[in-house]
A and B are shown apart, each in its own frame.
Chain A
């Protein structure tokens, strides 16, 4: 069985193994280029020790070594001015702002829809199947069109990207909140009924508090998926700014190190966002448990 303690050592071991495999792959995948170069220069192919050091210092390697990526990230975050277009922090900020805007709109929309679905039977039956269908549409495929079309309509910048994030993030919130708002059991609802509570009182004092655990679980998924939406949304705008644009520009010019550093930056961003939501989750649950009238979930 998995216990809560003793996760650090296994995780670290596996991370080390992955890094070791990565280094091995670096040598293996970048070696053909070195052999090719040696053959063209008509010199002896490099011996193994030489080969290892050479494969890790290429300009445009097939697979960059971890330390090359780390160097690039350091160079483009710490050493560059934040306002510079070469700064990864600048690009991350652009992606992050679209992500957060989309996440907020998506969450608000999701909660509103969930409230409607829980309180109106016609909405429940008619909207819910379409909400589910809406997610089988690969929305990211429409992303370039939404961006281009909105640009043509004069809306550009943050909002089109944020809309893609919205579309992606409202779904987990709707599903989670519908479940959460329905989670109070019949006895609790009956109690509210005997208190002669109005619908809005039942909502604020019972349904809303008991939906919180569900909300935060959904928010974790929603924020991660918002980031994906924002990144993909940046690709078709002609690679102007943002992490998605860095990915696309990197792939156009074969700058593998740039791609990997943008990728790791995106991963770090996702980790931070999910962690922030996690903290908000524990904070809210703690606050609720302290209140005597709060519903302990």
Chain B
């Protein structure tokens, strides 16, 4: 019980600290503002973990239900080789291959149908519709077609990532306005020149939006597809078997790896976006 009270006290204390931090008037001191913006969510996160640890131990929740973070951490360190092998199988093979193929083909198809308004009008509503469908459901079919290894998972990822990319790219290619296009026209720019010099840069925010959405979709697709049959390695495989054996700390370790991989993947796409679309208002606004 004392641990639970300690958790409560800690939470209140940290809340107070955060309230004080955001109340500080930073004025023109950008460094201070930046470090506060960094510290506040960090404190919140640490608080979450501390409360989790203390409450689980304090209320003596069975470790099968919810292991404390320290136990998960110990598990991660003690089973690094297994986690690395799973990561390789699921992320480096299935996710990356599927992501590149899916996003690449979505982009290329968008370029191909760019000149045909008929195909665009036909494909866009369908693409929007398919984006709302539970596509993960094709996983059992893909496993049947492409076998148990990572190829079938990559196939699921390709299907899941294709349509968001297609829809966003087509929208993005339409983003450059008439004035800008007319200007390119007066320069006697060819379709190709207009594309590379005007429309693709204008489409970049849309394309990166799709890349970001797809980065999370890809990981989900690959892991869920592994529930339908895998060789004896992979994150989805590990999760489903360890759940069956009630080794919940191993499952949480795997989830931590997945979360880390997912965040890093998303983060790197976001960084690339900042570098490529530095001119976009949403990024300029956050810079100063």
**A→B interface (CB under 8 Å):** 1-3, 6-7, 10-11, 13-15, 62, 121-122, 125-130, 133, 135-142, 144-145, 148-149, 152-153, 220-221, 224, 227-228, 231-232, 235-236, 243-244, 247-248, 250-251, 254, 256, 259-260, 262-263, 266-267, 270-271, 274
Contact = CB atoms under 8 A, between A and B. Distances in A.
Interface string B161-202: 000000000000010000000000000000000000000000
B263 A133 contact: yes
B227 to A, nearest CB: 6
A126 B228 CA distance: 38
A2 B258 contact: no
A2 B174 contact: yes
Contacts, number: 172
B226 to A, nearest CB: 9
B155 to A, nearest CB: 14
Given A137-B259, A149-B64, A10 B227 contact: no
A164 to B, nearest CB: 12
B235 A136 contact: no
Interface string B34-58: 0011001101110010000000000
A11 B126 CA distance: 7
A136 B65 contact: no
Q: Which of B122, B235, B255 has the most chain A CB atoms inside 10 A of its CB? A: B122
B142 to A, nearest CB: 10
Contact of A6 (B40, B48, B121, B215): B121
Given A11-B126, A136-B262, A152-B65, A126 B44 contact: yes
5 contacts: A7-B121, A138-B259, A251-B143, A259-B140, A266-B137
B22 interface: yes
B137 A263 contact: yes
Interface string B210-222: 0000011001100
B121 A122 contact: no
Interface in B43-83: 43-45, 48, 64-66
A272 to B, nearest CB: 11
Q: Kindly state the interface size class of chain B when it binds its partner.
A: 35 or more
Contacts of A62: 144-145
A228 B251 CA distance: 22
Contact of A14 (B117, B122, B216, B254): B122
Contacts of A133: 259, 263
B132 interface: yes
B203 to A, nearest CB: 15
Nearest to A140: B220
Contacts of B28: none
Binding site secondary structure of chain B: helix
Contacts of A152: 64-65, 246
A113 to B, nearest CB: 13
Interface string B114-139: 00011111111110010011101111
A232 B143 CA distance: 16
Interface in B93-126: 117-126
Nearest to B61: A153
B272 to A, nearest CB: 16
A251 B126 CA distance: 27
Interface stretch (B1-9, B236-244, B273-281): B236-244
A10 B122 contact: yes
Nearest to B170: A2
Contact of A126 (B18, B129, B240): B18
Contacts of A227: 134
Nearest to B239: A141
A138 B258 contact: yes
Contact of A122 (B19, B129, B251): B19
A98 to B, nearest CB: 13
Nearest to A18: B126
Given A11-B125, A140-B220, A144-B243, A121 B133 contact: no
A221 B128 CA distance: 11
B141 interface: yes
A141 B125 contact: no
Nearest to A129: B41
A171 to B, nearest CB: 10
B247 to A, nearest CB: 10
Contacts of A232: 136, 224
Contact of B133 (A7, A126, A262, A270): A270
Given A130-B44, A144-B239, 13 more contacts: A2-B174, A11-B122, A125-B22, A125-B40, A138-B220, A141-B239, A141-B258, A145-B239, A145-B255, A248-B140, A248-B227, A259-B141, A266-B137
B120 A149 contact: no
A125 B41 contact: yes
Contacts of B215: 136
B44 A15 contact: no
B204 interface: no
B123 A14 contact: yes
Nearest to A149: B65
A251 B124 contact: no
